[in-house]
Amino acid sequence: MFLLKKEKRRKREQRAKDRKQKQHLLHRPTKDLWSCKEDNDKFSGESWIMPTLHTKPKKPNSIGLRACPTNAVEVCHPGASYNPCYDDHQNLLNCVLREEVVSQKKQEKLDRKLKFLSEEEIKKQPGWLEEMSEGLVQDKDEKSVNEFQDSDVLEDVLSKTVNARDRKGRQLRRKERLQKKEEMSKRESKMENMRLNDIYRLKSLKREIKAKEAALERKRQKRMELKLQMNSKPRRLGKLKYESPKLDFQLSDELSGSLRGLKREGDLLKERIKSFEKRCLVEPRKRVLPHRKYKEKFVDKRSYKKPTIKDFTSTLS
């Protein structure tokens, strides 16, 4: 009786399970292959249909970041206005002076490094005469030294015969073996002592580890600061680097209090192009002047070389 009840319960559970599975199959969402709409979210958990779905490519992290965080139109220095105050104008002149000093120092350094010496200056340099006359005259002492070195080289090259008294005996070999063992034991004992000392100096080791970690953290902070500075600068897009334009300025006697008498400085088109270059929208460019890549070659034609009637008449006359 008990077995019959158990069998009936098992069959009832099986029928309920089959009914649930049929309902799941009936209500399962289907995909229309010919529709234009994307229904990828419905099948996100279905592994059997994932290869057929149109997934969007993963966007890079830098897709929303700007190449150079600068404004499209930058406000000029307050001292560059048409009627600036005295302090702003002096600050602008100081900035221009600093830029000019830096560029002048670079040019002086380049001229100093690339300066060609004259013939007289080269001859005045110490050791120039000895260097030029090297190998022309050879002294007797140098000849004897060279001969002695050659004889030593020949003796080293020739194989020496080993005599019986020069061979190592058993006693000498045993002594060498014992010496090697003693050296090995000393080295091992030294290493063991160093390991024991490391155990006893745990506090100093901890201090060293902390100091090393602090140094690494400082280096990391420096790298982060340098990275932020590099991100604020314009990137290199082409062969040429971006060069910041010079500041537009006017001297004190050139200033005017009205827009009518204002003297124009700079070029609007160049300023816009430099802004594009700074914002990494356009690579820095340089005007290519017309030039010849190869040397011009002149050839006299054969017909030109042939004598003409004029030549004959000139010779007859």
- pLDDT tier at 126 (50, 70, 90 boundaries)? confident
Handedness of CA 115, 118, 119, 122 (dihedral sign): negative
Looking at 16, 39, 54, the residue that finishes a domain is: 54
- Mean pLDDT of all residues in 154-166: 57
34: pLDDT strictly greater than 70: no
25 within some domain: yes
- Mean pLDDT of all residues in 25-47: 57
10: pLDDT strictly greater than 80: yes
5 within some domain: yes
24: pLDDT strictly greater than 70: no
223: pLDDT strictly greater than 90: yes
Domain that includes residue 20, residue range: 1-54
DSSP code string of 189-244: HHHHHHHHHHHHTHHHHHHHHHHHHHHHHHHHHHHHHHHHHHHHSPP--SSSPP-P
Q: Is the pTM of this model over 0.85?
A: no
How much is the pLDDT for 151?
60
- pLDDT tier at 33 (50, 70, 90 boundaries)? low
Which of 210 and 127 is assigned the larger pLDDT?
Answer: 210
- Mean pLDDT of all residues in 9-17: 85
How much is the pLDDT for 45?
53
3: pLDDT strictly greater than 90: no
- pLDDT tier at 258 (50, 70, 90 boundaries)? confident
Interacting residues of 95 by C-beta distance below 8 A, sequence separation 6+: 77, 247
150 within some domain: no
44 within some domain: yes
204 within some domain: no
- pLDDT tier at 276 (50, 70, 90 boundaries)? very high
| pLDDT one-digit tens code per residue, 281-300 | 899 988 888 888 888 888 88
272 within some domain: yes
Which of 170 and 102 is assigned the larger pLDDT?
Answer: 102
100 within some domain: no
- Residue whose pair of structure tokens reads 């799941």 in the numeric block: 24
Q: How many CB atoms lie within 10 A of CB 92?
A: 21
2: pLDDT strictly greater than 80: no
Q: Contacts for 234-243 with beta carbons within 8 Å, 24 or more apart?
A: 234/67, 234/68, 234/277, 234/278, 234/279, 234/280, 235/67, 235/68, 235/280, 237/280, 237/283, 237/284, 238/283, 238/284, 238/285, 240/283, 240/284, 240/285, 240/286, 241/284, 242/277, 242/278, 242/284, 243/284
Domain count, the chain: 2
274 within some domain: yes
Average pLDDT, the chain: 79
- Mean pLDDT of all residues in 116-143: 70
| pLDDT one-digit tens code per residue, 39-71 | 555 555 566 666 676 777 888 877 777 777 788
How much is the pLDDT for 199?
79
85: pLDDT strictly greater than 60: yes
